[in-house]
Amino acid sequence: MTATRLPRGPGADAEDLYPPDSWGRRTGSGRARVLWGFGLLVAGLVAGRVWLAPAIDWPALQTWATVFVAICVQALPFLVFGVALSAAITAFVPASFWARALPKNPAAAVPVAGVAGAVLPGCECASVPVAGGLMARGVAPAAALTFLLAAPAINPIVLVATAVAFPGQPMMVLARFAASLTVAVLAGWVWARFGRARWLRVPSRHGAETGWEAFRQAMLHDLLHAGGFLVVGGLAAATLNVVVPRAWLDTVAGVPWLAVLVLALLAVILSICSEADAFVAASLASFSPTAKLAFLVVGPMVDLKLIALQVGTFGRAFALRFVPLTFCLAVAVAVLTGWALL
C-alpha cells in the first residue's frame, strides 16, 4: 500500500482547538470541584425544566429549537453507531486485514471501497467516523473517502426508501444508485491522483493500541470530536430551515439549469438524513426529475452537518478542497445521469 499511514500535517488548525495543556493536569480537589459543578448544573437544568421552559412562549424560537433538537436527536444514534463501528475497526480488526481485503493500488481500491459502501446501513453521520477509523487503520485515504461518499447514498435502506417515495419510477432508484456510486469513485480517483497528504489530518490513535480500553478511548475521542461539529451543523441547518422561505422555490422550478442548482443547494442547506431525503424530493412536485436527482445525489455527500463533521474529523484544509470537489462532481454527474436515464 503506497499511503498506509500519512504523516500528520502541520495541524495548526487542529491544535488551536485544544485547551491549554494545564487543563489536563489532575488533582483530587479539582476533580471533586468538577463533580460538584456537574451536580449543580444538573440541578439547574431540572429547575429550568420545571420553571423556565413552561414560561417560554415565543413560536419562532420554539420552531427553531424543535428543528435543532430534531436534527441532533435524529443524528445522534447514527453517530454513536458509526463511532462504535469505527472504534471497533481500530481496536479489534488488525491492520493486516485491510491490506488483504483491499487491492494494494489505491486506484484499484477505490471502486472496491465504493461498492463496499452498499453494506453499511446508516446515514451520513455514521460514515464519517467509520472512514476516519479506516484511515487510522492504514486504508488508503482515497479508498476511505470513496466509502464515506458511497455508504450513505447507496445502502439498501436508502434505496428502498427511494423506491417507496417514487412509486412506479424504478429509474429514479437506478439513477440514484448509478450517479452516487459514480461520484464516489470519481472523487476517490481525483483524490488518489491530486490529493496531498498534508491536506488531510488522519485521525490518530493514542494510548492502548487494541482491546476494550482502546475501543473505549477511540469511541470517546471520536464522539467528542464529531459530536461537537454535528451540533454546529445542526445549528446552521435549523437556522436556515426556519429562515429561508420555501415559497420562492416554485418560482425557480421552471428554469431547468437554475432548478438543478437550487435543489442541489437546498440539499446542502436542509441537511436531511439520506434515509428521508427521497420523501422530501418527491414532494417537490414542480421540479424536473433531473433536479430531484441532483437533490438526492448531493444531499448524502455534501450538507451542512456533514461539512462540519468533516472539518472536525479531517481538518479544515481537507474540507475546503473536498467539499467543493464533491459538490461539483455530484451536480455534473446528476445532470448527465438525469439526461441519460430520466
Partner 1 sequence: MGPAVSRTSQNLLVTLLGGAVLWVSLFTTSYLNYVKPGFRWFLVAAGVVLVVLGVVGILRDRAGHAPRVAWLLTLPVFAILLIAPPPLGSDAASRSAPRPAVPVTAYKPLNTGLTAMSVGEFVGRAWDGKGSLTGRQVALTGFVVPGRKGAWYVARMQMNCCAADAFALKVLVRGVKAPPRDTWVEVTGTWIPPKTGGLPKGTVPPELAATTLRRLTKPDETYE
Taking the complex as a whole, the smallest distance from the CB of residue 240 to partner 1 amounts, in Å, to: 11
277 phi and psi angles, rounded to 5 deg? -65, -25
Positive or negative: CA dihedral 332, 335, 336, 338: positive
| SS3 call for 253 | coil
Residue with cell 464529531: 226
N-terminal to C-terminal alpha carbon distance within the chain: 40
Taking the complex as a whole, the smallest distance from the CB of residue 81 to partner 1 amounts, in Å, to: 8
Taking the complex as a whole, the smallest distance from the CB of residue 15 to partner 1 amounts, in Å, to: 10
Task: Give the list of residues 6+ apart from residue 211 with CB closer than 8 angstroms, or none.
Answer: 91
Q: Please identify, using beta-carbon distances, which residue of 7 and 57 lies nearer to partner 1.
A: 57
Cα 291 to Cα 106: distance, rounded to the nearest angstrom: 33
Q: Please identify, using beta-carbon distances, which residue of 122 and 188 lies nearer to partner 1.
A: 122
Q: Please identify, using beta-carbon distances, which residue of 91 and 190 lies nearer to partner 1.
A: 91
- Closest of 229, 232, 237, 235 to residue 203, by C-alpha: 229
Taking the complex as a whole, the smallest distance from the CB of residue 316 to partner 1 amounts, in Å, to: 12
Q: Please identify, using beta-carbon distances, which residue of 186 and 214 lies nearer to partner 1.
A: 214
Q: Please identify, using beta-carbon distances, which residue of 138 and 299 lies nearer to partner 1.
A: 299
Taking the complex as a whole, the smallest distance from the CB of residue 22 to partner 1 amounts, in Å, to: 7
Q: Count helices and strands (H / E) in the chain.
A: 16, 0
